[in-house]
Amino acid sequence: MNQLCGLELESTIDDYLSEAERIALKEFTEVYEGTCPEAISPASKVSPQFGMLDEHHHLHSEDGWRKLDQVTLYRFLCADRVSPTGKFQQAKSLDRLQRALRHRTVSKADAILDWWMDRLEQQGHHVKAGSGEPRKPNRMLRKLSSSSLYSSSSIATGSFRIEEGADTSLLEDVEFVPHHQIRHPGFSAIDLEKYRRLRIREFSGRCHKGQPVLFERLGAFLGSGNHVHFSHEEWMQLYIWDLERHFIEMREAAKANGKPVHKYIFCGDGQGMVEAIMNRSIWKVVPLLKAYKAVEDFYPEIADTIILFNVPKIATFFYRMVRGFLDPVTAEKINLYSTSDYKEVFSKIMPLDAVPQEYGGTSKKQYPKMASS
SS3 34: coil
Query: What is the pLDDT at residue 280?
Result: 83
Which band of pLDDT confidence, cut at 50, 70 and 90, is reported for residue 71? very high
Residue 221 Cα distances to 51, 197, 200, 369, angstroms: 35, 10, 8, 11
Count, residues in the chain: 373
Query: What is the pLDDT at residue 124?
Result: 59
Query: What is the pLDDT at residue 180?
Result: 43
Which band of pLDDT confidence, cut at 50, 70 and 90, is reported for residue 265? very high
Which band of pLDDT confidence, cut at 50, 70 and 90, is reported for residue 41? low
Q: Which domains are seen in the chain, by residue range?
A: 13-108 (no CATH), 200-359 (3.40.525.10)
SS3 170: helix
**pLDDT per position as a tens digit, 229-257:** 999 999 999 999 899 999 999 999 999 99
Residue among 306, 339, 340 nearest 323 (CA): 306
The answer, yes or no, to whether residue 171 has pLDDT greater than 50, is no
Query: What is the pLDDT at residue 321?
Result: 67
Query: What is the pLDDT at residue 276?
Result: 83
The answer, yes or no, to whether residue 358 has pLDDT greater than 90, is yes
Pairing status of strand 212-216 against strand 201-206: antiparallel
Which band of pLDDT confidence, cut at 50, 70 and 90, is reported for residue 5? confident
DSSP assignment of 239-271:
HHHHHHHHHHHHHHHHHHHTS----EEEEEE-T
SS3 231: coil
At 125, the amino acid letter reads: H
With pLDDT > 90 as the criterion, what percentage of the chain qualifies?
Answer: 42
Query: What is the pLDDT at residue 204?
Result: 97
Report angle CA 234, 237, 243 to the nearest 5 degrees.
140
Q: Which residues pair with 308 in a beta bridge?
A: 268, 336
**Please, where are the H alpha helices in the chain?**
19-33, 70-79, 90-107, 109-122, 146-149, 189-198, 218-224, 232-257, 273-278, 281-284, 286-296, 316-323, 328-331, 342-349
Sign of CA dihedral 25, 127, 250, 327: negative
The answer, yes or no, to whether residue 150 has pLDDT greater than 50, is no
Task: Return all residues near 100 (Cβ < 8 A) that are at least 6 apart.
Answer: 64, 76, 297, 298, 299
Q: Please give the residue that has the higher pLDDT: either 231 or 325.
A: 231
8 A C-beta contact, residue 141 and residue 188:
no
Average pLDDT of span 361-372 = 92
Task: Return all residues near 23 (Cβ < 8 A) that are at least 6 apart.
Answer: none
Q: Please give the residue that has the higher pLDDT: either 149 or 253.
A: 253
The answer, yes or no, to whether residue 98 has pLDDT greater than 90, is yes
Range in 27-41, 129-143, 222-236 the model is least confident about: 129-143
8 A C-beta contact, residue 241 and residue 192:
yes
Q: Which residues pair with 214 in a beta bridge?
A: 203, 266
Query: What is the pLDDT at residue 130?
Result: 34
Range in 114-118, 165-169, 226-230 the model is least confident about: 165-169
The answer, yes or no, to whether residue 161 has pLDDT greater than 60, is no
Task: Return all residues near 306 (Cβ < 8 A) that are at least 6 apart.
Answer: 266, 268, 330, 333, 334, 335
Query: What is the pLDDT at residue 328?
Result: 75
With pLDDT > 70 as the criterion, what percentage of the chain qualifies?
Answer: 72
pTM of structure = 0.80
8 A C-beta contact, residue 47 and residue 67:
yes
Query: What is the pLDDT at residue 346?
Result: 94
